[in-house]
Amino acid sequence: MGMRNSRNRLKSFLKRIGVGPRGSKDLEYEEAFEAMDVILSGDYEPATLGAFLMAMRWKGPTAEELAAFADAFASRITRPEIRLDNVIDIGGAFDGKNRTLILSVPAALVAAGAGAGIVFVGADNVPPKRGVTPGAVLRALGIETRRKLASSAVDISSCGVGFVDLAIACPVWKELLPIRDAVVKRTFLNTIEPLLNPLGVSVHFGSVFHRPFGERVCEAAGSARRLGFERVVIAEGVEGATEIGGGVTRFYEKAMNGIRTYDIDLRELGIAARTEEIRSSAVTMEQLSSESARSTELLLTGGTVSEAYRDLVLANAAVLLHVGRIVSGWEEGLELARASLTSGAAWTALSEWRRRGREE
């Protein structure tokens, strides 16, 4: 397909989805895949792409469209030929958090110390929020995050945890950031980028901002043809992250007969911590990254942290152990998480990860 025909093709899809709330039509899987493939090929006029992104936002993407968009992206990633069994792909909002301490990093280290395999997938400086991400906190902890896919896979095999920078795994993804910045609002690209599964693992733990998207994203991740997930769990996390806060959190899980929805109330597990108790006073993203890293290191080394912070980290580690099927119940997950923390296994995971980065 020539460039002119590709550009005309994207315009034809725009005419389908951009008619308005009553006249817009959903794209079939093959059409959505083609539209995303055209975008990734760079065969578009910037104004057309901006209009396409906003029209899809106004219409609302279907699960089938999201699956096709993600599959087109995934087809641009060359996965390493390294088999990783029982590893959880953590893909939260790439644009990060800006109000509360990052819990997913210490939770992942605690879970890794308890036997789980974890891979964070993320990137830096992603619009619209441009908040603090797990990658930023990991770098503040001395972890090298900008690594080749094969090195990230070896990190997981050696330490139980690794990080994939999507800008390295899929360079074309980064080329879309300027126009996304110009669009200002969140688009379906924010929704699908956490789903791309660069290491080809079988379990995905993701998150959504808004309840109407929970089942849709879960269905998309579970039904996509090229992602390869066998188990998908989505949480309505704090600030859109893969982190549960105090009180009740809604979960969505892909099951054989559809989407299973359930709530977890930490108060029923004896955890009274409130999300407000981990709110940071940092005024810059750099300060929030540093504070999150410092809190992580204090927790893992037996230093002084608030009870709320400790309890919420343990609860999030228990979630990961549940998602990875390391445990069968929440109480068992909390018990295993506490053992990982108090035994020093979580600190060992971080120390080994640091060592690997220094040696390569």
Burial class of residue 32 (count of CB atoms within 10 Å of its CB; 0-12, 13-18, 19+): buried
Q: Which two tokens stand for residue 239?
A: 């600030």
Assess whether pLDDT exceeds 80 at residue 317: yes
CB atoms under 10 Å from CB of 10, counted, come to 21
What pLDDT, in 10s, does the model give residues 265-286? 999 999 999 999 999 999 999 9
| Per-chain mean pLDDT for the chain | 94
What pTM, to 2 d.p., does this model score? 0.95
Reduce the DSSP state of residue 15 to 3 states and report it: helix
Assess whether pLDDT exceeds 90 at residue 62: yes
Assess whether pLDDT exceeds 80 at residue 140: yes
Please identify which residue in the block is written with the tokens 């990052």: 102
CB 204 within 8 A of CB 197: yes
Assess whether pLDDT exceeds 90 at residue 14: yes
What pLDDT, in 10s, does the model give residues 179-214? 999 999 999 999 999 999 999 999 999 999 888 899
Q: CA-CA distance, 91 to 140, in Å (whole number)?
A: 20
Reduce the DSSP state of residue 271 to 3 states and report it: coil
Q: What is the rounded average pLDDT of the residues 300-305?
A: 98
Any idea of the CA torsion for 17, 19, 21, 27, to the nearest 10 degrees? -20
Q: CA-CA distance, 310 to 301, in Å (whole number)?
A: 12
DSSP single-letter state for residue 97 = B
Percent of the chain whose pLDDT exceeds 90: 90
DSSP single-letter state for residue 231 = E
What pLDDT, in 10s, does the model give residues 208-244? 988 889 999 999 999 999 999 999 999 999 999 999 9
Q: CA-CA distance, 137 to 153, in Å (whole number)?
A: 20
CA-based diameter of the chain, in Å? 62
- Its CATH class, for the domain covering 87-359, is alpha beta
User: What is the pLDDT at residue 357?
Assistant: 83
Assess whether pLDDT exceeds 80 at residue 2: no
Sign of the dihedral through C-alpha 346, 350, 355, 360? positive
Among 66, 74, 8, residue whose Cα is nearest residue 32:
66
Q: CA-CA distance, 357 to 360, in Å (whole number)?
A: 6
- Reported as type and span, the H/E element at residue 123 is none
Assess whether pLDDT exceeds 70 at residue 313: yes
| Domain edges within the chain | 3-60, 87-359
- Residue 255: pLDDT band (50, 70, 90) is confident
User: What is the pLDDT at residue 5?
Assistant: 67
Sequential DSSP letters for 191-209? HHGGG--TT--SEEEEE-S
Q: What is the rounded average pLDDT of the residues 91-109?
A: 96
User: What is the pLDDT at residue 6?
Assistant: 65
